[in-house]
Amino acid sequence: MRIGYARVSTSKQEQSLDTQREALIDAGCDAAHIYTDTISGTKWQRPGLDDALAYMRPNDTLVVTRLDRLGRSLAETVNTIADLAERSINVKVLEPALDTSRPADKVVLNVMASLAEWERDLLIQRTREGVAHARAQGRVAGPKPKLSDEQAQVAKELIDGGKTISAVARTFGVSRPTIYRVLKRTGNDLSRIHISAPTRLRLRA
């Protein structure tokens, strides 16, 4: 069964939900099983996607119009696809054309996973260099710095990959309460944080 998912952001000019819905129906999705989200401000809660993922069963296919509908970053997108693969659920992207049920596209996704890991490591390195530079300039007093949305996402991925709150706080040069606030701000359930390591996707043949 093909399940559709559409998302728009109130802060960006992009495809409307109606436009995405029409494209998903044309791609073979049942109109009664197209889930939607409208993201506003800095909150990243996606009840529509959560409902779609909860409804899906093995051998179903999640269809989206664009790859960025599934996450704010490449790493988050790849992790979502990997989690679905673990449940024997395929993902079909209309633009650019991508289908995890095709062997050639699995190779593409593994390359994306490697790039996502590189992107995450690069951000961590830049953050550490920034903290070291600030300390060298004597700018370490005062309130703890807040993390950007991009850094917050990386912090979440590190924690869900097995890093402790303390270790992640040290990585970004912030306090433990700051990390907890960031996770809460991004809509994460602190009692059941989980994310798949974005190294290699285990996609079924």
| CB 27 within 8 Å of CB 66 | no
Which spans in 13-141 are helix H?
A: 17-26, 47-55, 74-86, 103-136
Query: Radius of gyration (Cα) for the chain, nearest Å?
Result: 18
Count of all residues that appear for the chain in the document: 205
Catalytic residues: 9
Report the alpha-carbon distance of residue 117 to residue 113 in Å, rounded: 6
**Count of alpha carbons within 13 Å of 14, Cβ hemisphere only?**
15
